[in-house]
Structure 1
């Protein structure tokens, strides 16, 4: 009788139903919030304080962090890392495409070049600041949430999502605004730090406010995917390539 020397079948990688859709939502919100709202300061009037400034993008950008929390909680740090790099690549391509399109000479008689340059012609500082802040903030957010999940043995999801946001969004705001706007006309130092503080507080408040939604989405995805990931043996290097947690 001949010996069967055929190799043993390789373990199958889990097939997730909604991972790609969550990734697409993450990248979409990331690009739109950076393209539309990043460079516009707005304000609200507070009783006894007066006008309090904040970056307009803060109204939507925190949703990308909430989706990042969902990714790490449901699919683990390693798969969230893949999504973060996908978003980083999308930001880089968006910046390149904007530079090419703005640089092309307009057709004779087209009146929109000046407005186009104002809206899409972000300086290298804003582009660099956005990409660095996103990279640092998202990886910090995912790392903290994954570690806290292990420490808490999967309990207190609200504590993990808010705690990771405090760290990730704090780093994001602290890096982006000074790197992008320090020393520019229209951005005095007082306004700059007011916007940094506002961004941090508003983003964290958004996370806390939407915690019930996060619970619903996380619960639904875990039931649908039939998965519960703990990053006990994960390589947390941002540059690792494995998707196994």
Structure 2
């Protein structure tokens, strides 16, 4: 299929337009978000480098993909459409936490031996769940806002500066909210600060490593959708879902 010529437009001017791949990008974002929280969050993993063991949450390997997809959404489809996706992910996280609580709480059938393992994997520590959902909401909106603003400041050039810069700020907000809310008073303050900074650096590092992939995906989507949107007159309130 031949690509559509790329037109530079205000995001508001394209508010009623149908985009061919937007729904797929939304689905990818929500899927990565939910799966990285379900599959990877509960497992501490360890790597030995130069004789020293490094322990990290396994979910960090895939969770940053959500920020990459978030950058793609804002860059290609504008802040307003990214905002709808963030809310979809936010509601999905709440439903996932509620469903996990209901399923784990149900009495197991007689003879079923998997309840302990099920509780170990899907059991919820509600302080951590609340911290995670709050941090995601705030961090993702900050990420998208910085991305959209920087696109105007850079006149659409230097995509790498926007993806990395927005991740530095967005992941910083995410980490500053999540780790103190989830672990302050449980871990020592020094541990909270150390883990917070380490995981923030790892997430930013992932963004840097995945920058070439972001360039490829953004370029391909812009060619297919035929537009390059700028949020010059966008209402940046996070409390709306209108495009």
**TM above 0.5, one fold?**
yes
What's the TM-score, normalizing by structure 2? Answer: 0.89
Matches of 1:191 and 1:41, distance apart in 2: 16
CA contact (8 A) 2:60 2:203 kept: yes
Q: Which structure: larger Rg?
A: 1
Does the 8 Å CA contact 1:55/1:195 hold for their aligned counterparts? Answer: no
Q: Which runs of 5+ in 1 are unaligned?
A: 1-10
Q: Distance in 2 between matches of 1:224 and 1:79?
A: 17
Equivalent position to 1:132, from 131, 134, 138: 134
8 Å CA contact 1:34, 1:130 repeated in 2: no
Q: Aligned pairs, how many?
A: 230
Matched, 1:239 2:239: yes
Q: In 2, distance between residues paired with 1:127 and 1:80?
A: 23
1:195 is matched with which residue?
195
Say if 2:215 is the partner of 1:212.
no
In structure 2, how many angstroms separate the alpha carbons of the residues matched to 1:157 and 1:214? 9
Q: Deviations over 1:68-115 (max 9, x none)?
A: 000000000000000000000100110110011011000112111112
For 1:23 and 1:213, how far apart are their aligned partners in 2?
Answer: 17
Gap runs ≥5 in structure 2? 1-13
Match of 1:114 in 2: 116
Question: Structure 1 residue 183: deviation in Å?
Answer: 3.3
Q: TM-score, normalised by structure 1?
A: 0.89
In the alignment, the residues of structure 2 paired with residue 237 and residue 53 of structure 1 have an alpha-carbon distance, to the nearest angstrom, of 38
C-alpha deviation, 1:12, in angstroms: 8.2
Judge conservation of contact 1:133–1:175 (CA < 8 Å) in 2. Answer: yes
Give the SS at the match of 2:229.
coil
2:86 corresponds in structure 1 to 84
The Cα of 1:200 is off from its aligned counterpart by 0.7
Alignment-derived partner of residue 171 in structure 1 = 173
> For 1:69 and 1:61, how far apart are their aligned partners in 2?
13
Cα 1:84–1:74 change in 2 (3 A) is same
Do the aligned residues in 1 keep the contact of 2:128 with 2:182 (CA within 8 Å)? yes
Question: Deviation of residue 47 (structure 1)?
Answer: 3.8
Q: Mark the CA change 1:178 to 1:38 in structure 2 (over 3 Å): closer, same or farther.
A: farther
Asked which structure has the greater RCO (Cα within 8 Å, sep 6+), the reply is 2
Question: What is the Cα-based RMSD across aligned positions, in Å?
Answer: 1.7
> d(CA) in 2 for partners of 1:118 and 1:176?
21
Q: Secondary structure at the match of 1:228?
A: strand
Structure 2: distance between partners of 1:110 and 1:182: 37
